[in-house]
Structure 1
Amino acid sequence: MHRRAAALAVPLTAIALAVSSCGSIPDEWRTPAFMRMGEDELDPRLPEVSGDVGEEPEVTFPDNEPPDEEISGIVSQGSGEDELVRNDDLLVANVAQYQWTAPGEGELVEGQSSYETGAPDLVRMEQMPEYITEGLVNQPVGSRAVFVFPPLTEEERTQAEAAGQPAPEGASVLVLDVMDRFNKGAVVPGEQTSNGGGDLPEVVQEGHSQPEITIPETDPPEDLVVEPLIEGDGPEVEEGQQVIVQYTGVRWEADENGAHEPFDSTWSRAGDPFDTTIGAGAVIEGWDEGMVGQSVGSRLLLVVPGDMAYGETEEEAMGGPVGTLVFVIDILGAVDNPPPAEEPSADPSAEPSEGEEEGSEE
């Protein structure tokens, strides 16, 4: 299946869809990109898209047949050359999908707009088709891009249907608003106002690097401990949101060599930010309780007892780290999740099926 068909074969939430660790863009990468932006002219075959970035777009479809090739363009550019999209970023984007069905005719695909759900997509650039990434790289945060995918060929329709995927009529149009970006190695700004210490682990973290965690020679606390090392000034994390974090975890108990090596860390994956739903049982209880209510932009020291992590014994842990765990977590961002799908309601006018009587109980 062609790359465009593969991209359209999943919902936009699935499209959910290494930058320099210092987060800055070398000067020689900046001006040429902006010069090219200024010189580019939009393909006249693109639908007209109006409205402010960050608000639901208005799309007007041209009075001609959809093109038979992929076309794209940046219809609105953000400001700030320090915030250019890179090819391995994690983006927060509002995305809406439309079907361009005939000359001058098109419509929003039901359920395929983050403006309808109120929940943006998390787009990992490394997982996107080249056609998507090449249109976004070097564009500023706050930009709006439009992508047009031509109608599926008969072969592509057959492949999609065989895979159980929808085969829409006409061309598919994506409008994507880049709302924020997180690069590899991203950390929260600000200096640590606390390093922990005393009866708590001590944390030293220099710049964009894995934190060094020193465990005291004392028994671990029995209850969950949440110690802000950097206090963020962003909104409070709410239950059910998606959080974007950097983290490192170690066991309180030393290994056979007397060390406390990380059992898991985003820094072991090149500082690639991790995202997960918080406060809904998707992660350990210590994370759910420890992060909800904390401010975005915070660096947290979490000491999580085994009964709020993976358990106190090998049998309980089932392969996870045993006992009290220590995490250092940077809360880079938090965004809403889409609301759960509504269950179809029963039709009160429906007649009882054969063999059932109205008002009967099991």
Structure 2
Amino acid sequence: MRRRSVLLAVPAGLLALAGCGDDDSDKGDKTSPEPKSPSAQPTAKMDGPVPALLGGTKFGERPEIARGVGKPSDKLEVKTLIAGRGPAAAKGDYIQVNYLGQIWDTGKVFDTTWDKGRKPFIFRVGAGEVVPGWDQGLAGKKTGSRVELAIPPKLGYGEQGRPPAIKGTDTMVFAVDVVGVFNSKSAAHGSKVAQDNKDLPKVGDNTDGKAPSVTVPKVAAPKKLVSSYVLEGDGPEVQETDTVLVQYKGVLWDGGKEFESTYANKDLAQFPLPRLVAGWRDGLKGKKVGSRVLLVMPPELGYGKEAKENIPANSTLVFAVDILAVA
């Protein structure tokens, strides 16, 4: 059984799926592909008829999609507009995408990550975290691909729709760019940074997807937070409001015993940074995506006097964290 992470500052059960769009009323009429239809059967028809792309035809550009012509299909229609050459998204993998969604009949855009201030969306393929049309239509697609989907209501939000933007009779059309695919073998691939402080733990710099070694020195633990690069990536800096997709390994300063690891679980972790313990929030903010980071956090930035699973009270914690992506 997969263990619940001890890193969250609030019980994991309080976390709900976050929408791609913003629920604030002053943000407009945005929605996202997240809530799933209760009755969905695999009905994919590959390379079927989809509306034409009028502009923004290159990968990474905001697309402009024509209105649908005629009556839309009652099956999922999927067309690969640009065939990528990177890793393919298998069931259980995390996939990072940019997307634009609009209504077949009207051509009205209801949501897009290409809006200013938005970031690519990350979800786990085949886990029911998105509408079935996304789970089915994006499975197997390679990094660097642009895919167009026409999703009938039964593989979208069903008869209830997603008012007011999407009625229960609306077919949704999406253009989706596959930015990245991540799984339990993913790792940071940044440039190596010297680890020359003998009073700090040494972290392995392997990039083969296996757990890095973490060797804790036999000296007194630091009193302040340590956050330093082991591998420095070249991606965007982590913002304090981001959700991070990571590989990590956590050990105790006293004795170096491992207490939690995504490598042991054979699964990645995705966390909203604001809901993590202070040592993670402060230690990862400003660090670059693609990096491996050493975090050493004193008890007051971890769990203080409170004991957790495999973590005694008043423990100094040591982490090796690979920042794979942010959303």
Fold-level similarity (TM above 0.5) = yes
After superposition, the C-alpha distances for 1:267-303 in whole angstroms (9 at most, x for unaligned) are: 1221x3323333xx31111112111222222211111
Report the CA distance between 1:66 and its aligned residue. 1.8
Report the CA distance between 1:11 and its aligned residue. 4.7
Determine if the alignment matches structure 1 residue 302 to structure 2 residue 295. Answer: yes
Task: Name which of 254, 263, 267 aligns with 1:267.
Answer: 263
Report the CA distance between 1:247 and its aligned residue. 0.7
In 1, distance between residues paired with 2:67 and 2:309? 55
Q: Quote the residue 2:219 is aligned against.
A: 218
Determine if the alignment matches structure 1 residue 115 to structure 2 residue 109. Answer: no
After superposition, the C-alpha distances for 1:40-68 in whole angstroms (9 at most, x for unaligned) are: 9842x321124233232212134311222
Determine if the alignment matches structure 1 residue 328 to structure 2 residue 320. Answer: yes
Q: For residue 293 of structure 1, what is the amino acid of its counterpart?
A: G
Report the CA distance between 1:187 and its aligned residue. 0.9
User: SS at 1:127's partner residue?
Assistant: coil
Superposition TM-score, scaled by structure 1 size = 0.66
Q: Quote the residue 1:97 is aligned against.
A: 101
Structure 1: stretches of 5+ with no match in the other structure: 1-9, 17-39, 255-259, 336-362
How has the CA–CA distance of structure 1 residues 89 and 277 changed in structure 2, closer, same or farther, with 3 Å as cutoff? same
Q: Quote the residue 2:142 is aligned against.
A: 140
User: SS at 1:132's partner residue?
Assistant: helix
How has the CA–CA distance of structure 1 residues 82 and 106 changed in structure 2, closer, same or farther, with 3 Å as cutoff? closer
In 2, distance between residues paired with 1:190 and 1:76? 28
Determine if the alignment matches structure 1 residue 46 to structure 2 residue 46. Answer: no
How has the CA–CA distance of structure 1 residues 82 and 174 changed in structure 2, closer, same or farther, with 3 Å as cutoff? closer
Aligned residues: 278
User: SS at 1:226's partner residue?
Assistant: strand
In 1, distance between residues paired with 2:291 and 2:153? 46
In 2, distance between residues paired with 1:63 and 1:313? 61
How has the CA–CA distance of structure 1 residues 152 and 131 changed in structure 2, closer, same or farther, with 3 Å as cutoff? closer
| Equivalences for residues 57-136 of structure 1 within 5 A | 57-78=63-84, 81-101=85-105, 105-109=106-110, 112-116=111-115, 118-128=118-128, 132-136=134-138
| Equivalences for residues 146-225 of structure 1 within 5 A | 146-152=148-154, 156-157=158-159, 160=160, 167-190=167-190, 192-194=192-194, 198-204=198-204, 206=206, 207-225=208-226
How has the CA–CA distance of structure 1 residues 201 and 84 changed in structure 2, closer, same or farther, with 3 Å as cutoff? same
In 2, distance between residues paired with 1:236 and 1:170? 38
Q: For residue 50 of structure 2, what is the amino acid of its counterpart?
A: L
Q: RMSD value over aligned CA atoms?
A: 3.3
Contact conserved, 1:242 with 1:275, CA < 8 A, in 2? yes
Moved more, 214-223 or 297-306: 214-223
In 2, distance between residues paired with 1:41 and 1:173? 15
Q: Quote the residue 1:3 is aligned against.
A: none
| Larger-gyration structure (1/2) | 1
Contact conserved, 2:244 with 2:270, CA < 8 A, in 1? yes
In 1, distance between residues paired with 2:230 and 2:218? 21
User: SS at 1:289's partner residue?
Assistant: helix
Report the CA distance between 1:311 and its aligned residue. 0.9
Q: For residue 285 of structure 2, what is the amino acid of its counterpart?
A: V
How has the CA–CA distance of structure 1 residues 237 and 63 changed in structure 2, closer, same or farther, with 3 Å as cutoff? closer
In 2, distance between residues paired with 1:42 and 1:216? 58
In 2, distance between residues paired with 1:269 and 1:12? 29
In 2, distance between residues paired with 1:234 and 1:198? 29
Q: For residue 302 of structure 1, what is the amino acid of its counterpart?
A: L
Q: Quote the residue 1:290 is aligned against.
A: 283
Hey, which of these two has a bigger chunk of helix by percent? 1
How has the CA–CA distance of structure 1 residues 196 and 133 changed in structure 2, closer, same or farther, with 3 Å as cutoff? farther
Superposition TM-score, scaled by structure 2 size = 0.73
In 2, distance between residues paired with 1:106 and 1:306? 54
Contact conserved, 2:191 with 2:233, CA < 8 A, in 1? no
Contact conserved, 2:190 with 2:292, CA < 8 A, in 1? no
